Amino acid sequence: MVSSLPLSGKIVNSMDSSIYYDINSFTGNGDNIDFTVNAASGIYKFELVFEKGIAEVNDVITVSSSGSLTLTSNSVTMSYAGGVFEIQGNDISAAATIEVAGRKGKRISATPTSAKFEIPSLVTADTLAEFPELAKV
């Protein structure tokens, strides 16, 4: 049971702690604390500051994008050797990530409406050793 409302707080992106959103007001009673934050999609930890100290909460908040992500044909330059991939949508996080065939891409840029990634080569020394016929392509 909570005896008082927090003085302040923030939600912090669990992948990139430099991305956070301040919580400016709270409502609630002894059982619940309510707040509203406009945040980009992602998974967030939250911290609350009370008169007697800081509470780091173990639970996380998941914010989902409103709407779908789209890929336009002119935003892909990619082959088995890797390339560039761009998506567009709403509420895209500055900490957005992408994984293709189990390989993580490098984020080049991200805004609330688009994210561009460099996709690593899908043919590596390991895949060539496993599938030598790829070397003949």
- The dihedral over CA atoms of 11, 67, 96, 102, expressed in degrees to the nearest 10, equals 130
pTM of the model: 0.60
Report helix, strand or coil for 136.
helix
Hey, how many other C-beta atoms are within 10 angstroms of the C-beta on 127?
15
Query: How does residue 105 score in pLDDT terms, banded at 50, 70 and 90?
Result: confident
Q: What pLDDT is recorded for position 10?
A: 92
Q: Flag whether pLDDT at 22 surpasses 90.
A: yes
Domain boundaries, the chain: 8-63, 73-136
Query: Is the CB of residue 15 less than 8 Å from the CB of residue 95?
Result: yes
Q: Of the ranges 1-15, 62-76, 91-105, which one carries the lowest mean pLDDT score?
A: 62-76
Q: What is the DSSP string of 57-96?
A: EEEEEEE--SS--B--GGGEEEETTEEEEEEE-SS--TT-
Q: Which percentage of the chain shows pLDDT scores above 90? A: 9
Average pLDDT of the residues in 79-88: 80
Query: Is the CB of residue 42 less than 8 Å from the CB of residue 15?
Result: yes
Query: How does residue 92 score in pLDDT terms, banded at 50, 70 and 90?
Result: confident
Question: What digits encode the pLDDT tens for the residues 25-52?
Answer: 899 876 788 888 888 888 899 888 988 8
Q: Give the separation between CA 8 and CA 87, rounded to whole angstroms.
A: 35
